[in-house]
Amino acid sequence: MSIKKPDISVVIPAYNEEESLPELCAWIERVMQEHRFGYEVIIVNDGSTDRTWEVIKQIGEHNPVVKGICFRRNYGKSAALHVGFRAAQGNVVITMDADMQDSPDEIPALYKMIVEEKFDMVSGWKKKRYDPLSKTIPTKLFNAVTRKVSGIYLHDFNCGLKAYKQEVVKSIEVYGEMHRYIPLLAKWAGFKKIGEKVVEHRPRKYGVTKFGIERFVYGFLDLMSIVFVGKFRKRPMHFFGTIGLLVFLLGGGIAFFLVLEKFIKSQPGMPPPRDVVDQPLFFLALTAAIIGTQLFLAGFLAEMISLAAPNRNDYHIAEYSNFDSSKHA
């Protein structure tokens, strides 16, 4: 007898949120029962130092659809989402923060956009925020840069309230601090129908924010990393080799110019030329040639490592068609 999958899996990373979790889970339960959704709630305790894990277990004792995963230490939101995605069984996966600034009342509309409007993922947009200017201004700058670099025109990449088809969360790997760029990870995995929905942003009721200004600095570094990995992971020689070749040719061109100049000025009637090694351009050419060679070798070594990777030929396949290959032998 097959077990029916839940309609929705709600994945909630939690770090020191003992006060908000009972109220949040009760709210989610009311919404799910009102709309008759089959659901599960997966709360990932990210190494909390308060009673968050005890609260999760108490909630699970009274409501068996609530499941908990507990880290031994704090690994970060990306790690919590990753293990939550691996455990999720629902046809639609909803993520939200545990601080109750995301409203569970948004779940039905997000579910509809995935199931009926056939979006691969939908990202929330907190158009009206209850954050100080010290947080909203860097957020606007961060989102503007991310839109430009990624080519995905969302207003709020970092909103914790998102909805996904199950295939999306099973096809991506969220690591480091890459939770900010899940839309870009989904795009690299071939899921291109990415939508956006204006959602309610509620004032924080319990506790304090767990993120500081440094997250924006790390965010930009992570963006550069994910763009590079997404484009050149399977062909690193295209990146390092191209730059290395151009820099090497620049150095070679400067060296050729210096030699040609000395040859011309060595002709009778010309003023005596300077030695090539006495000119600053010579050292610039030498440095460029060395750097170009190193970059080319780095690309070659990266290509060798990529060739040996066990998942080199892992590709995101949308579906299979039933056919008998023996007929084509």
What is the spatial distance between Cα 41 and Cα 25, in angstroms, rounded to a whole number? 8
Question: pLDDT in tens for each of the 329 residues of the chain?
Answer: 456 789 999 999 999 999 999 999 999 999 999 999 999 999 999 999 999 999 999 999 999 999 999 999 998 898 999 999 999 999 999 999 998 889 999 999 999 999 999 999 999 998 887 666 666 677 777 788 888 877 888 988 888 899 999 999 999 888 777 888 899 889 888 898 999 999 988 877 766 665 555 665 666 666 677 666 666 666 777 778 888 889 999 999 988 888 888 787 777 766 776 777 778 888 888 999 999 899 888 888 877 776 665 555 454 444 555 545 444 44
Instruction: Locate the domains of the chain by residue range.
Output: 8-231, 236-308
pLDDT in the model for residue 329: 42
The torsion angles phi and psi of 326, rounded to 5 degrees, stand at -65, -20
Return the ∠ at Cα 227 (arms to 250 and 224), rounded to 5°. Answer: 75
DSSP 245-292: HHHHHHHHHHHHHHHHHHHHHTSTTSPPPPPGGGSHHHHHHHHHHHHH
What is the spatial distance between Cα 219 and Cα 309, in angstroms, rounded to a whole number? 27
Give the CA distances from residue 167 to residues 47, 186, 191, 317, 318, in Å, rounded to whole numbers and listed in that order. Answer: 28, 10, 9, 10, 9
What is the spatial distance between Cα 308 and Cα 305, in angstroms, rounded to a whole number? 5
Out of 3.40.1190.20, 3.40.50.150, 3.40.47.10, 3.90.550.10, the CATH code matching 8-231 is: 3.90.550.10
pLDDT in the model for residue 315: 44
- Hey, how many other C-beta atoms are within 10 angstroms of the C-beta on 318? 8
- Measure CA 120 to chain center: 16
Helix and strand numbers (H, E) in the chain are 10, 7
Q: In what order do the strands lie in the sheet with 194-198?
A: 66-70, 39-45, 8-14, 92-95, 162-165, 121-125, 194-198
- Hey, how many other C-beta atoms are within 10 angstroms of the C-beta on 98? 29
pLDDT in the model for residue 229: 65
What is the spatial distance between Cα 68 and Cα 75, in angstroms, rounded to a whole number? 16
3-state secondary structure of 94: strand
Sequence-distant (≥ 6) Cβ neighbours of residue 302 within 8 angstroms:
236, 237, 240
Return left, alpha or beta for 293; rule: phi > 0 is left, psi -120 to 50 is alpha, else beta: alpha
- The 3-state DSSP composition of the chain as helix, strand, coil percent (nearest 5) reads 50, 10, 35
pLDDT in the model for residue 201: 85
Task: Write out the H or E segment, with its range, that includes residue 42.
Answer: strand 39-45
Query: Dihedral sign, CA of 129, 131, 137, 140?
Result: negative
Residue with tokens 């659901």, as numbered in its chain: 39
What is the spatial distance between Cα 189 and Cα 183, in angstroms, rounded to a whole number? 10
